[in-house]
Structure formats: C-alpha cells, structure tokens
Amino acid sequence: MAIPKECKMPDLSHLAKKKLVPSYIISSLTGSDKSLDKKFILYRKRFVQLVDKAIDDYLLVRETVIKQISAESGTIYLFSTINYLENCINSIRRLFYLFDGIKSNKQNPFSIDRTFRRFISRYSSQIRKTRDLTEHIDKYIKNGAKNGAIREGQTIAFKFNKDATKVSIVNCELSLIDLAKLITKFHEFGSELAKYNAKGVNLKSFKIICSKKRKTT
C-alpha cells in the first residue's frame, strides 16, 4: 500500500463552516418553496444535503491522509481514507445527476450561466467512470480477465500519488485538485439554491452563475 509523503490536497475547511442545510431550512421556513415546482423542491433539498455530505467526506479524506503521513509505523488510516473517498465520489456523481435535473426542469426559476454549465460538465465523465469502477469492482474481480476490466498488476483500491493530489484505480486516474474545484463550484451553486427566496431575494454571488428567469407575458 503506497503511503503519500505529503498532502497537497486543497483545504476545503472554509466550506465546512458554510453549511448549506441550515440556510435551506431558514429559507424554507420563510415560504421559499411555495412558488416552486414540486420536483424542483426535491432537487433543491437533495442537492444541498449532498453538497454538505461531499465536503464532509472530502475533509475526512484529507484529514486521514495527513494522519497517515505522520503516523507511527504499523498504524494504518488509508483503509478509512479509501472509504471516505468512495463516499465523496458517490455523492458528487449524484450531484451531477441532480444538476442535470435542475437544468432540464422547465419550472426551474433560474437561468444557469453557460460558462458555469461548461465547467461542471467538463468533469462529468471522469467522475462517472471513477464512481462506476468503485461501484462494480467486486463484479470485475469475480469476472477477472473475461471482461478485460482488471489486468494483472492493476490496483483494485484507490492508490494515492506521493503528494496526495491524484488517485488511481484500475485504469482510471482522478485529480483531487480538480475534485476540490468541483466541490467548490457545487457549493457555490448550492448556496444560492439553499438561500433562494420565492419573494425575489437575489444575492450578489448569484450574478456569477445564475440569474432569475424573466417572466414572459
């Protein structure tokens, strides 16, 4: 098991101090859901929950990597690290699915900026591929070389590089720096979803990624 020599994973602890669920609850109590489509309400609720979860799991990955680097000989944290990373990637994959649903929902009260959408979609295939590998790894182990998914010498669990900026599994490599950027963007978007007020409150940061749809007569 390869142990990183240092940890250069971006620190997202500042996002953990800005939890989305409390903002969502406050917004909901003010009647923000009343004018929204029922399906969009569910998208909104699940999105903010999963953003908070992804951040928590990412920080647990980073924390246990740092612990592993300074741990005494014989103390292993990386099995827990791998579990946290799988959870994080699974949440991110679900966020992509919800984001697609929000985009395509005709009752979505926002127009999402094209540049922002491009940024999100840039990482979709890599996250999906990584998540699918971890989800079906047991099947690949069972079938072995029959389906060509796993070859001799390939790792069946996440392997970190020397500075913990990348992980690899089977034939797939994932940048943890890119993962941190993606989580940050999802938090940015989720923050506006959480705080949305049906009465028309528009926050400054919302101008970056979204604008309210104009009503047509």
The overall average pLDDT reported for the chain is 83
Judged against a pLDDT cut of 90, whether residue 151 lies above it is answered with no
DSSP-derived pairing of the beta strands 159-160 and 110-112? unpaired
Judged against a pLDDT cut of 80, whether residue 33 lies above it is answered with no
Domain limits for position 176: 13-196
Proportion of the chain above pLDDT 90, given as a percent? 47
pLDDT of residue 197: 65
Identify which has the larger pLDDT, 204 or 35. 35
Judged against a pLDDT cut of 50, whether residue 203 lies above it is answered with no
User: Within a 10 A sphere around the Cβ of 216, how many other Cβ atoms?
Assistant: 4
pLDDT digit string, tens, across residues 95-150: 999 999 998 887 777 778 888 889 998 988 889 889 988 887 777 777 765 555 66
| 169 — pLDDT class (breaks 50, 70, 90) | confident
Is residue 216 assigned to a domain?
no
Q: How many domains does the chain have?
A: 1
Is residue 8 assigned to a domain?
no
Is residue 212 assigned to a domain?
no
- Give the separation between CA 40 and CA 117, rounded to whole angstroms: 18
pLDDT of residue 202: 44
Is residue 208 assigned to a domain?
no
pLDDT of residue 62: 97
Contact residues for 123 (Cβ-Cβ < 8 A; gap 6+): 178, 182
Is residue 214 assigned to a domain?
no
The model's pTM: 0.84
Is residue 95 assigned to a domain?
yes
User: Within a 10 A sphere around the Cβ of 28, how many other Cβ atoms?
Assistant: 16
Say if residue 77 is exposed, middle or buried (CB neighbours under 10 Å; 0-12, 13-18, 19+).
middle
pLDDT of residue 74: 67
Is residue 119 assigned to a domain?
yes
Identify which has the larger pLDDT, 202 or 11. 11
